[in-house]
Amino acid sequence: MSKPDVMVGTGSNFKYQRQWLVLVLTAILAVLAVTASIAIGPVRIGFLRVWEILMSDNAPVDISYQIVWNIRLPRTLVGCMVGAGLALSGALLQGVMRNPLADPHIIGVSAGAGLAAVAALTIFPQFPPSLIPAAAFGGALTSATLVYGLAWRAGVSPMRLILSGVAVSSLMSAGTSALLVLFSENVQAVMGWLVGGLAGRGWPHWAQVWPYVTVAGVITLFTGRQVNLLLLGDEMATGLGVKVEQVRLLLIALASVLAAAAVSVAGLIGFVGLVVPHIIRLLMGSDYRFLLPASALGGAALLTLADVAARMVMDPIELPVGILTASFGAPFFLYLLRRGHHH
């Protein structure tokens, strides 16, 4: 993991400008992604018409108005929240663990959410769908607490955290598999959730996800300086006045809440938390004061665009977006492993 850049001399001025430029470009990309997501579908709506419908108080209530407000806008907003939550969670975990390959899957958060949701859907077939996110949320936080507890030994080292995460993740995944075998008659209800997707997501899902991602996300955006100091190493960070253990616990809690909220409404969507912070880091360096907001915007843009692609690739059949993110995320992960191996 590269150390955060300390700004000195004229070179830093250029670096500062580049960071702002990348931030502005990711914001523009996110706006374009949202517009494309609302415009593209079985009924095509022009980009300008989309904004006309969104901005006007008294637009004529025609079919395109109904499609935008009742179907595409909520789905797109949920996608933005899920993408931003996963990318922020991944960026935080990579900083806390000083490991560029960390993401919500690695510390068992996603697997914990998966186990809880599958348990609710298979053991209790009458379980109200609206409470699935709450169950997933509980599972994710339980998993994160368990990982932290296992890694704790007079302090938490990044390496012990990752090893505990892998162990807990495997245990939770085994539990999920066992449930699918034992309650095979209810598997169909769970399948879409395990793959991860945004199909059928509406305003109720938006209401479930936005408070968690917004609150945890805003707090996260103020932690950039602390993460920068953690990247210098525990001893140096302590010397600079950082309460390392408390800060690390707070950051892992924030990462868990962000990932749990995302997974709870969209199912198990992988690799967004790994890929986005990496791309942003390549473009603007490792200063977390810029990396965090750019990751949130980049995650929202990436997942929204992936969802557009998932709707178009096999039209009229809709591909779950989780399959698409895994198909480009897995090769990216292998590329990073190889690159790390050579350096």
Cβ-Cβ contacts under 8 Å for 343 (sequence gap 6 or more): none
Which tokens hold the place of 251?
């950051």
Confidence of residue 155 (pLDDT cuts 50, 70, 90): low
Confidence (pLDDT) at 150: 87
φ, ψ for residue 8, nearest 5 deg: -135, 145
Confidence (pLDDT) at 1: 56
Confidence (pLDDT) at 130: 73
Give the pLDDT confidence of 21-59 residue by residue, as tens digits.
Answer: 999 999 999 999 999 999 998 889 999 999 988 987 766
Give the pLDDT confidence of 266-300 residue by residue, as tens digits.
Answer: 988 988 999 999 999 999 989 999 999 999 999 99
Which tokens hold the place of 293?
């907001």
Would the pLDDT of 97 be above 90?
A: no
Query: Taking the alpha carbons of 252, 253, 258, 263 in that order, is the dihedral positive or negative?
Result: positive
Cα–Cα distance list, 200 to 90, 176, 238, 255 (Å): 26, 24, 48, 26
> Domains, the chain, ranges and CATH?
9-342 (1.10.3470.10)
Would the pLDDT of 178 be above 60?
A: yes
Rounded to a whole number of angstroms, the distance between the first and last alpha carbons of the chain is 11
Confidence of residue 340 (pLDDT cuts 50, 70, 90): low
Cβ-Cβ contacts under 8 Å for 295 (sequence gap 6 or more): 87, 88, 90, 91, 276, 277, 280
What is the chain's mean pLDDT, rounded?
87
Give the pLDDT confidence of 204-236 residue by residue, as tens digits.
Answer: 999 989 999 999 999 999 999 999 999 998 889
Closest CA to 87 of 26, 21, 158: 26
- The mean pLDDT value for 169-195 works out to 86
Distance CA(14)–CA(46), nearest Å, equals 38
Range in 4-18, 25-39, 237-251, 283-297 the model is least confident about: 4-18
Confidence (pLDDT) at 123: 86
At 199, which amino acid appears?
A
